[in-house]
Structure 1
Amino acid sequence: MEEYIKEEGYTGMPDEQIISELAEVFKTFGDSTRIKILFSLAKKEMCVGEIADFVDMSQSAISHQLKILKQKKLVKSQRDGKQIIYSLADDHVYTIIGQGLDHVKE
């Protein structure tokens, strides 16, 4: 956070919209199924069926959670023929997962 504050020339509290959006992103990480999906996609890009097999859940449950992750811009998708392939949206997601895991392991 200190680096962010220094890089952006931050001098005070972010506005309410930014705080609200940040809180919503953190709420998204508050579901164990979504965390499992993010860990799966951190390993490799996958379709819904592969993710469902990897986390041992139904495809419908995974699809529902992927929709939420996409809305929060944590996951992205691309069509490959008849399949939709999912991946983490960007390096920030890897960083958030990694930092959270480091924090829990301390």
Structure 2
Amino acid sequence: MHADKPICGRSPDSQFVELAVEVFSMLADATRVRIILALREGERSVTQLAETVDKSPAAVSQHLAKLRLSRMVTTRQDGTRIFYRLADEHASRLVSDAIFQAEHTLGGTPRHHHDQDAGS
């Protein structure tokens, strides 16, 4: 009935296109992508994330501040410690899809397609 109407602003002239570009630019940094991947396993402190992504806590804090401003991560305070977690599943999905797309650039059948075949 409404098949010709855009869903969730996904038409080329949508007001959300510019915001989507900002989301992509936020994820156009390897450290931030690694942080998103690490947070898929659950909330982490800055120190834990710094160890996981092999960066200094100060550098990780700066990246987390940007991710927090973009509302991709949220925080929980426990005493003097702050824990970070993904705000929702969308950033995780975007990162996964970007990695899947990257696998396609290597040629052949990407690993994620093998995983799908194994489940069939």
Output the TM-score relative to the length of structure 1.
0.83
Give the gaps of 5 or more residues in structure 2.
105-120
Higher helix share: 1
Give the alignment of 1:27-66 within 5 angstroms: 27-66=25-64
Percent identity between the aligned chains? 28
Deviations 1:29-72 (A, max 9, x none): 11111111111111221000000111111110000000000111
Q: Counterparts of 2:39 and 2:11 in 1: how far apart (Å)?
A: 36
Larger Rg: 2
- CA drift of 1:6 comes to 5.3
- CA drift of 1:104 comes to 1.1
**Corresponding position of 2:72:** 74
Give the gaps of 5 or more residues in structure 1.
none
Give RMSD over aligned pairs.
1.9
> How many positions carry a matched residue from both structures?
100
2:97 counterpart of 1:99? yes
Structure 1 segments of 4+ aligned residues over 6 angstroms from their partners: none
